[in-house]
Structure 1
Amino acid sequence: MKMNILVLLMACVTALPALSADNVDIKVTGRIIAAPCVFNGGNSNMNIDLGNIQATNMFTPGSSSDPVSFNLLFTSCPPGTLSVTTRFSGTPDPEAGMNYYQNSGTATRVAIAMSDATTGVLMGNGSSITQNIAADRTAKMPMKAMVTSVAGRPTPGSIRAVVVLTMQYN
């Protein structure tokens, strides 16, 4: 009888660890992403000089300065990277609207505009543009920048805006 109780007790004890085991799910996640290109020759800053603009040329509401052309240039794009999407962000001008950037310089009643030089579409806060990578592993986005006076009658002073570009490689 003692032997039967001992065998029964051993059977119960060995079953306990199986009853108290935890199930664990392991989730494995990740992404395969396209490698980046070299932007602007490796320099992460660009300075676009709009030059000296006569206040009298901006006197009329809706007037703009002459546009200044520049390129967003991508080189050394690795194989497998097919396109680049550039997203623009900055402080929108409260008077001119979301497509224009607020001047943080000392000139008043002016806003800064950036546009796609090919289509003329304004690249304001939240806008984006996509360019395919060429066979030579480069991409070029021709752009223009200018100053606009929506209300006219600007006061002389400096012009300054910071526009942040975020690139996504596909």
Structure 2
Amino acid sequence: MTHIKLDFVALFIFALSGASSALSKDGSLAFIGNITSSTCCVSVNGGNANTSINLGTYYLSNFPYKGAMATPIPFTISLINCKPAVAKVAIIFDGTADSNDHSVFTNVKTGINASRGTGVRLYNDGADSSDISPHGISAFYSVLNNSVTLPFTVRVTSTANNVTSGILQADTDFTISYQ
């Protein structure tokens, strides 16, 4: 074991001594972060923060043209036990945009069992009912008594004139923006 360690150290020193004359600056990196004490406990529809929203089952006839949408499905993201410094929050939704409509979260399923020409639209619910595109941010909501529930709706939508039957799954990671 000692012999292997010595060989590694010797090889490492040799590699550094030969490479030192060839080093030059090819670029630079800036590592930027945010340190915050303003956090909250997160739940989706009263459960775990990592969950699925059931979109239901639809007929092809529900999507006769590009842009046709199914009935809205409500869901909530609740924040509880927020630090007193948290005044407002919003949610940033990451995900992949559909190639035919960049305001729609794409169907990530592929293969023979995947629906084609479908995706998911995400909306603020309540006073501000605007849509939220992939990598977009929701409306800001005020935190009262260290908690807040953010209402949203999701709608299955067609992103092409010809929709095929199959499985639809649109994924998004979300991040809380604190103010």
Question: What is the TM-score with the length of structure 2 in the denominator?
Answer: 0.71
How far apart, CA to CA, are the structure 1 residues paired with 2:99 and 2:63? Answer: 18
The 5-angstrom pairing of residues 12-161 of structure 1 reads 33-40=36-43, 43-97=48-102, 99-105=103-109, 106-118=114-126, 119-129=128-138, 130-134=140-144, 136-161=145-170
| SS of residue matched to 1:92 | coil
Task: For residues 78-118 of structure 1, give each alpha carbon's deviation from its aligned partner in whole angstroms, at most 9, with x where no partner exists.
Answer: 21211223111100001012x11110120001111111012
Q: In the superposition, relative to structure 1, how do residues 82 and 34 fare at CA in structure 2: closer, same or farther (>3 Å)? A: farther
Q: Structure 2: 5+ residue runs without aligned partners?
A: 1-32
CA displacement at 1:35 relative to structure 2: 2.3
* TM-score, normalised by the number of residues in structure 1: 0.74
Runs of 4+ in 1 over 3 A off after TM superposition: none
Structure 1, unpaired ranges of 5+: 1-29
Report percent identity of matched pairs: 23
Distance in 1 (alpha carbons) for counterparts of 2:124 and 2:118: 20
The amino acid of 2:36's aligned partner reads I
Distance 1:32 1:61 in 2: 44
Evaluate the alpha carbon distance shift between residue 42 and residue 82 of structure 1 in structure 2; reply closer, same or farther with a 3 A threshold.
farther
1:47 partner amino acid = S
Mapped contact 1:113–1:147 kept (Cα < 8 A): yes
User: 2:23 maps to which residue?
Assistant: none
Q: Report the Cα offset of residue 125 of structure 1.
A: 1.6
Q: Provide the aligned C-alpha RMSD in A.
A: 1.9
User: Residues 63, 76 of structure 1: CA spacing in aligned structure 2 closer, same or farther, 3 A cutoff?
Assistant: same
- The alignment of Structure 1 onto Structure 2 pairs a total of residues equal to 139
2-structure distance, mates of 1:123, 1:167:
14
Report the Cα distance in structure 2 between the residues aligned to 1:46 and 1:101, rounded to whole angstroms.
17
